[in-house]
Chain A
Amino acid sequence: MASALINVPAKAKRGDIIEIKTLMSHIMETGYRHMASGELVPRDIITSFTCRFNGSEIFRTDLFPAIAANPFITFFTTATESGKFEFEWIGDRGFSETASASITVE
């Protein structure tokens, strides 16, 4: 089944800019490939990735078929307070996965 890999530093100093790395296992079927029978393989991709910190959205990505399988996305954020990052991936065929990571800010 789908699984997520999240890399968030466990601790940071207040004001530090930290990098967050995320990977979600997913086939990301483009919808442009054909089967041997000539039929089009239906599209099955993740269309949206969102990161919230303590409930408020800090980063969002719209994904298209041009994103490689097992979408890997990294971004930065400023460490302001201790709390929890929540990650959400939404896609075709009702795909929906979440993950979370906590950070301690000193």
Chain B
Amino acid sequence: MQQPPNSSRRQFLGLAGGAAVLGIIPIVTVRPAEATPAMLASAIQTVTGGAAVRTGKVKLEIPPLVENGNTVPMTVSVNHPMAPEDHVRSIHVFNEKNPQANIANFHLGPHNGRAQVSTRIRLADSQKIVAIAKLSDGTFWSASVDVVVTLAACTEDVI
């Protein structure tokens, strides 16, 4: 049989494949600095002013597995009345690994009736998303979701 030619072809393909993989790696690693968990913490600190943030009340809906990080639907709702004397004042959304830790700040009031907002966001990597709600009594409530992103956004080069 023709074993030798076949195996050399296989070797060649293996080498070519390996070279292609090696060629891709530098593109993946050349990225602007990412936000770090420390930047996330300091962005949250800016909003809360050091006040304690409790888990609960907030619901952060975002797909757990995202194919395209360029546009990711996100809905944040807060299970809290919207009465003039007791309401949600604002909702803040943060990320862990985009170049910038902030995603958006939503300013609400009693006239909103329901503390729920939706938008579409960009995610540069698989990471944790944090939503924090500020209530009119000055307390902060949060929810966080881990998202896996297969195609990253924000940092790809312009051709």
- Report if A and B associate in a common complex: yes
- C-alpha spacing A53/B106, complex, angstroms: 17
Q: Is the interface of A mostly helix, strand, loop or mixed?
A: strand
With both chains docked as a complex, state the minimum distance between the C-beta of B103 and any C-beta of chain A, in angstroms.
4
A61 and B112 contacting across the interface, CB-CB below 8 Å? no
Q: Is the interface of B mostly helix, strand, loop or mixed?
A: loop
Name the B residues within 8 Å of A75 (CB-CB). Answer: 106, 108, 112, 116-118
A74 and B118 contacting across the interface, CB-CB below 8 Å? yes
Q: Which of B7-15, B56-64, B149-157 contacts A (4 or more CB under 8 A)?
A: B149-157
From B99, B102, B111, B159, residue with most partner A Cβ within 10 Å: B111
The reply on A73 being an interface residue by CB < 8 A is yes
- C-alpha spacing A17/B108, complex, angstroms: 14
The reply on B104 being an interface residue by CB < 8 A is yes
Number of B interface residues at 8 Å Cβ cutoff, please give it: 37
- C-alpha spacing A59/B109, complex, angstroms: 7
Known: A62-B104, A64-B102, A66-B98. A35 touches B119 (CB 8 A): no
A66 and B103 contacting across the interface, CB-CB below 8 Å? yes
The reply on B114 being an interface residue by CB < 8 A is yes
The reply on A5 being an interface residue by CB < 8 A is no
Known: A36-B159, A75-B106, A76-B113. A69 touches B121 (CB 8 A): no
Within 8 A of A (CB), among B70-116: 70-72, 82, 95, 98-100, 102-109, 111-116
What are 24 A-B contacts defined by CB distance under 8 Å? Answer: A32-B32, A33-B154, A33-B156, A58-B111, A58-B112, A59-B106, A59-B107, A59-B108, A60-B106, A64-B100, A65-B100, A66-B95, A66-B100, A66-B104, A66-B123, A67-B121, A68-B119, A68-B120, A73-B118, A74-B118, A75-B108, A76-B115, A78-B82, A80-B111
